[in-house]
Amino acid sequence: MVEKVILVNPIKNPKISVIIPTLNEEKYIEKTLLSIKAQTIQLPYEIIVSDGKSKDNTVKIAKKYANKIVICNKKGIAVGRNLGAKYAEGEILVFLDADTLLLPNTLEEVYKEIKKKNVALVSCPVAPSSYSPSIYFLYWFYNQFSKNSIKVGKPQVAGMFMATKKSIFNAVNGFNEKLRIIEDYDFSERVAKFGEIKIVESTFVLTSPRRIEKWGKAKGAAKYLGIYLAYLLTGKDIGWKIYKPIR
């Protein structure tokens, strides 16, 4: 696997590395990057865009805001996250999707928790960036599901936003690149062996419900449930043909 690294504006001694895997995300990436640049945290942090050879303007837009851009021929969201982490200099790794927006205090609030010795992974509630009561309910359901999965000892945290220590990331060998989907749930389960999983309630992130809007709310909910049940029963990503990866 050969990758190209573009150093745009390297940050000296960053404490946090924010990693965004991308593939043809020109519609969303600029708002996401702007939300990262607008953080209130006073610690130095770097932004890494890990791109799977986009054919649109994703990389061009990223060059305006990112500190590093990693470009690789091999596609896959697990690959993108792992490559971003490979070139990350921060002791804390924050992963988010290209269509996820942070509130100004998100990094600050998450850092307060993830820096604690006994904490292995941190996330926060997720809300849809476009509102309708039924879509909001689906995200509310995910938030409750994620919290309760932690309580029962089988944490299921979505990769649309999560933070961990680089030392722990390396200890579990990152995301499983053999999984085309559900790689985030698999990762959160493995990381849980190294400490507590926390959901920070003092902030939240906004993410695009584009798949649900494309599929329709009822069909989308059914697909997500089917994919998860298949993973729960088999431990495999056999639902990937239903949930065609876009990165």
Give per-residue pLDDT as tens, 5-31. 999 999 999 999 999 999 999 999 999
Interval 83-110 mean pLDDT:
98
Tokens matching residue 23:
């593939």
- Tokens describing residue 155: 């944490």
**pLDDT, tens digit, for every residue of 219-235?**
555 555 556 555 555 66
pLDDT at position 181 over 80: no
Strand-pair category, 45-51 with 16-22: parallel
CA-to-CA distance for 121 and 196, rounded, in angstroms? 7
What are the strands of the beta sheet with 119-123, ordered from one edge?
Answer: 3-7, 68-72, 45-51, 16-22, 92-96, 161-165, 119-123, 196-199
**67 near 11, Cβ under 8 Å?**
yes
Output the pLDDT for position 245.
47
Pair type for strands 205-207 and 126-128:
parallel
Q: Which two tokens stand for residue 201?
A: 């309630």
The pLDDT, as a whole number, for residue 247 is 46
Residue 215 has pLDDT above 60, yes or no: no
What's residue 229's pLDDT?
58
pLDDT at residue number 219: 56
